[in-house]
Amino acid sequence: MKKILVTGGAGYIGSHTIIDLIESGHQVVSVDNFINSNAQSYDRITEITGQTIQQYAIDLCDRQKLEQVFRENDFSSVIHFAALKSVGDSVSDPLHYYHNNLLGLINLLYLQKQYQVHHLIFSSSCSVYGNAESLPVTERTPLKEAESPYAQTKQVCEQIIFDFLKVNPTFKSVILRYFNPAGAHSSNLMGESPHNIANNLVPIITETAMGKRDALSVFGSDYPTRDGTCVRDYIHIMDLAAAHTGSVQFLLDNKARDAGTIINLGSGTGSTVLEVIHAFEKVSGNKLNYSLTNRRPGDVVAVYADYTKANKLIGWTPQRNLDDIMLSAWRWEQKRSAT
Ligand code: NAD
Ligand code: WQD
């Protein structure tokens, strides 16, 4: 059986996806330089699946080293997660973001071409839509100018893939635009373990409840939404992982009509910041210390997905809701804080 190369396999979404791939019978090789993770992720994958995966501690920007991985393995496909993802850091250090996120993809594509690995799944982001004109967002919703160098890297990477596909007609790609991934694995052995300080809402909520932070600031309460706070589409990490397995299968079964297929991955439900906080309070039984503060610059008012295309093409439907996300995130926070 040919293997699947997962880049960024020690990271949050990559590690959950590897579990789903293994449980679906695939053989996986991971490449990660641990710039935002550590090798413990692989131990947890082994604990959950009973399998030790083959892994390389390599920077994708080092093409010579990366070539070794292609030389030593026979791949059917690549799932490319490895990237830097902090919006704020990308504003303060744009060159680091452009270098890492663009060069990593370019090196991969060179090697995929050289070694004839025809399938690529790429991690993109709803941030490419910016302040969308209409909701819910479909794959045909026009992209807006990127709000940050991070979002710009996703727009440029998508373009690089489409340009590559135009001149390499035997290659196919699925570009997955994630909305707001959150939550943890049902085993409670794995979840989001940010290397640096968390800057997404769900881990900030659980860290506040755990006493790692004094209080949560709700960024803006005067938006034109049902309670004045921003609306986002939170998608459970296990649902997101399953969509990658579905996307690989879609390519392996030669079901892709287009060279590049863009797919939104969201729950289809918009939740306000206050609704997320209240869901947390309900499932955890804890009162959260939060206050309403100023808007955060660059925040879009509301964004949530239409996932009809994911359902039609890869048969995907989210199985878990906001309560499931918050409960799993809370259990994981308690577990990781105790160890
Ligand atoms: P993560 O930081 O947990 O995982 C990314 C992994 O890639 C990390 O383990 C990191 O060490 C590795 N990595 C980064 N650069 C590398 C390089 N040059 N060489 C080798 N390894 C490298 O992030 P995540 O949340 O799992 O995100 C995975 C992908 O999904 C990223 O491309 C991210 O931009 C995208 N995405 C994430 C979100 C989100 O909210 N988590 C939303 C939309 C899109
Ligand atoms: C969610 C909501 C905040 C923290 C980011 C990236 C996007 C994608 C997903 C990678 C917003 C509010 C947050 C806090 C708050 N990632 N909030 N207090 O901004 O939707 O998207 O992650 O691709 O590209 O931009 O996610 O978790 O930061 O914020 O009130 O302390 O929570 O204003 O409305 P965001 P987030």
**Per-domain boundaries in the chain:** 3-182+234-266
Nearest-CA residue for atom 29 of ligand 1: 81
> What pLDDT is stored for residue 129 in this prediction?
93
pLDDT digits (tens, 9 = 90+) for 305-317: 999 999 999 999 9
Q: Work out the percent of the chain whose per-residue pLDDT is above 70.
A: 100
Is the distance from the beta carbon of residue 230 to the nearest atom of ligand 2 less than 6 Å? Answer: yes
Instruction: Please say whether the beta carbons of 144 and 130 come within 8 A.
Output: yes
Name which of 10-14, 120-124, 126-130 the model is least confident about: 126-130
Average pLDDT score over residue span 90-107: 97
Is the distance from the beta carbon of residue 302 to the nearest atom of ligand 2 less than 6 Å? Answer: no
Average pLDDT score over residue span 134-157: 95
Separation of 201 CA from ligand 2 center, angstroms? 6
Of 94, 30, 106, 122, nearest to 61 by C-alpha is 106
Beta bridge partners of 234: 180
- The catalytic residue positions are 150
Residue type at 318 in one-letter notation: P
- Model confidence at 1, in pLDDT bands (50, 70, 90)? confident
Token readout for 170 is 């035997």
> What pLDDT is stored for residue 313 in this prediction?
98
As a whole number of angstroms, the distance between CA 182 and CA 326 comes to: 8
Average pLDDT score over residue span 118-144: 95
Helix 273-284 × helix 322-338 angle, to 10°:
60
> What pLDDT is stored for residue 153 in this prediction?
98
pLDDT digits (tens, 9 = 90+) for 196-206: 778 899 999 99
> What pLDDT is stored for residue 199 in this prediction?
86
Name which of 196-200, 238-242, 332-336 the model is least confident about: 196-200
> What pLDDT is stored for residue 197 in this prediction?
76
As a whole number of angstroms, the distance between CA 68 and CA 31 comes to: 11
Is 58 in a helix, a strand, or coil? Answer: coil
CA distances from 159 to 152, 173, 259, 304, 335 (A): 11, 12, 13, 23, 41
Dihedral sign for Cα 275, 279, 282, 287, please.
Answer: negative
Asked if pLDDT for residue 42 goes beyond 80, the answer is yes
Average pLDDT score over residue span 153-173: 98
Asked if pLDDT for residue 38 goes beyond 80, the answer is yes
Q: For ligand 1, pick from 5, 6, 7, 13 the residue to mutate: most ligand atoms within 8 Å of CB.
A: 13
Asked if pLDDT for residue 195 goes beyond 80, the answer is no
> What pLDDT is stored for residue 314 in this prediction?
98
CATH number for the segment(s) 3-182+234-266: 3.40.50.720
Instruction: Please state, rounded to an integer, the average pLDDT across all residues of the chain.
Output: 96
Beta bridge partners of 178: 125, 265
> What pLDDT is stored for residue 131 in this prediction?
87
67 CB neighbour count, 10 Å cutoff: 16
128-152 per-residue burial string, b: 16 or more CB within 10 A, e: under 16: bbbebeebbbbbebeebebbbbbbb
- Model confidence at 339, in pLDDT bands (50, 70, 90)? confident
Is the distance from the beta carbon of residue 217 to the nearest atom of ligand 2 less than 6 Å? Answer: yes
